[in-house]
A = this chain, B = another copy of it.
C-alpha cells in the first residue's frame, strides 16, 4: 500500500466574493486563495490551512473543508466581517477588474503557524500581502519546496516587500501579464530570466487558454490547456492550478524536473474544472475518475505517438 502523502501548508485568504461575468452575477461566493487552494489540493494530499475569517463566514463551509481533510488548526475566527472582494470579468475572461476590496478581518491579520505545521515539507504562499507571506517563512523550518503566487496589486504597490519574499522561495507561479509587470520585460522569456534572478530557481507561467510553462534549471516544459467549449468563471483558476501542481508534488513525494512536469499537467487539468463553474462548484463535486480521464486526454493531446 502507498504511504500517505506528507501534507501541504497553505497560507492565504478566505473570502466572500461578489463576481460578475458577462452572463451572470453571484454574491457571497466562498472564495479566497487559501480556500480555493485547500479544497482542491485536499484531493491529493492532506492540507494544513492558515487564514482568518470573520463572524459572518458560514460554518458549513468549514465543516466541508474539514471533511475533505483540510486541517483548520491554523484558521482564526475573529470578530468582524470576512475579507470581501468584488470583481468583474470581461468577455475574454482575461484578468479580473477589481471593483471593490474590503479587507475587514484581514486588515490586522498576522499568520500564526501552529507548531504542528512548522515542519511541513510542501508550502504554498497564496496571494496575500508579501509581508504576510514573508512572515510565514520566518515561522517554519526549511521545507522541501516553497511555491508562491502574487498579483498585479502587490507587484505595483508592494514591490520591495515582494522582492524580499522572492529571495526566499523556490518557485513562483504567476501569469504572463504579471510576469511582464514584475520583470518590466515585454518578452516572457526575458521576464522569466529576470524573475529567476530575483530568487526563485523555478517559475511557472500560466497562460490561461494557452496552457502553462515550467522554467526549471534542467530545462523548460510547455503544456497546452484542456480544450474547453465554455468558460463560466475563471476566478479560482490560478489557485486551483497551484493546488493541482502542489497536490501532485505532495502525492509524488518528490520535486525533480519530471515530477514537476506532471505537476504542471495536474495543475492545468484542475484549473480546467475550476473555470467550468462559478466559484468552486465543479471542483468540490469532482469525481477523481474525471480528473484521470481529463489527464489522459491532455497527455494524448501532447503525445507524438
Residue A213 lies at the interface, judged by CB distance under 8 Å to chain B: yes
Q: Mark A183-200, 1 if CB is under 8 A from B, else 0.
A: 000010110000000000
Main secondary structure of the interface of A (DSSP, over half): mixed
**Contacting residue for A207 out of B210, B261, B265, CB 8 A:** B210
Q: How many copies does the complex hold?
A: 2
Report whether B302 and A302 are in contact in the complex, using a CB–CB cutoff of 8 Å. Answer: yes
Is A115 in contact with chain B by the CB < 8 A criterion? no
Interface residues of A toward B: which range?
A: 20 to 34
Q: Which 4 A-B pairs have the closest CB atoms?
A: A222-B224, A210-B210, A189-B227, A222-B301
Is A288 an interface residue when CB atoms closer than 8 A count as contact?
A: no
Interface residues of A in 227-267 (CB under 8 A from B): 227-230, 258, 261-262, 265
Give the complex CA separation of A177 and B269 in angstroms.
25
User: Are A189 and B221 neighbours in the complex by a CB distance under 8 Å?
Assistant: no
Q: Is A24 an interface residue (CB 8 A)?
A: no
B189 x A229 contact (CB < 8 A): yes
Known: A189-B227, A189-B229. 6 other contacts (CB 8 A): A187-B229, A211-B224, A219-B301, A220-B227, A221-B303, A262-B304
Does A285 interact with chain B (Cβ within 8 Å)?
Answer: no
